[in-house]
Amino acid sequence: MRPTLSWTSAEEPPPGTTDLEPVVEALRGGGVLVLSGAGISTESGIPDYRGEGGSLSRHTPMTYQDFTADAAARRRYWARSHLGWRTFGRARPNAGHRAVAAFERRGLLSGVITQNVDGLHQAAGSEGAVDLHGRLDRVICLSCGDLSARRELARRLEEANEGFAPVAAAMNPDGDADLTDEQVGDFTVVPCVVCGGVLKPDVVFFGEAVPPERVERCRALVRGADALLVLGSSLTVMSGLRFVRQAADAGTPVLIVNRDATRGDRHAVTRVALPLGPALTAAAGRLGVPLPDGATA
Looking at the fold, whether 127 and 272 belong to one and the same domain comes out as yes
Same domain flag for 231 and 157:
no
Is 256 annotated as belonging to a binding site? Answer: no
Q: Are residues 165 and 79 in the same domain?
A: yes
266 domain residue, yes or no:
yes
Same domain flag for 78 and 169: yes
Output the domain CATH number for residue 165.
Answer: 3.30.1600
- What's residue 15's pLDDT? 80
Q: What is the reported pLDDT for 11?
A: 65
46 is in an annotated binding site: yes
Question: Do the beta carbons of residue 234 and residue 35 sit within 8 Å?
Answer: no
Question: Binding residue per annotation — 48?
Answer: yes
Q: How far apart are CA 30 and CA 13, in angstroms?
A: 28
Q: List all residues 6 or more positions away from 111 whose beta carbon is below 8 Å from its beta carbon.
A: 33, 34, 128, 129, 130, 221, 224, 225
pLDDT at position 49: 56
291 and 159: one domain? no
Domain boundary among 178, 203, 228: 203
Q: What is the pLDDT of residues 152-164, one digit of tens each?
A: 999 999 999 999 9
Q: What is the pLDDT of residue 59?
A: 56
Q: Is 133 a catalytic residue?
A: yes
Can you list the residues of the chain whose pLDDT is less than 70?
1-13, 49-60, 169, 173-174, 293-297
Buried b (16+ CB within 10 A) or exposed e, 14-37: eebeeebebbbebbeeebbbbbbb
- For position 177, what pLDDT does the model report? 82
Q: Would you say residue 66 lies in a domain?
A: yes
Identify whether 10 is part of a domain: no
Among 163, 185, 203, the domain boundary falls at: 203
Gap between the Cα atoms of 262 and 273, Å rounded: 11
Q: With respect to residue 222, please indicate whether it lies within any of the assigned structural domains.
A: yes
Known binding residue 144? Answer is yes
Residues 104 and 249 in one domain: yes
Catalytic residue from among 82, 97, 121, 133: 133
Question: How many domains are contained in the chain?
Answer: 2
What integer pLDDT is reported at residue 55 of this predicted model? 43
50 annotated to a ligand binding site? yes
| Residue 128 CA: distances (Å) to CA of 105, 122, 234, 262 | 12, 8, 23, 26
Residue 8 pLDDT: 58
pTM of the model: 0.89
Same domain, 221 and 271: yes
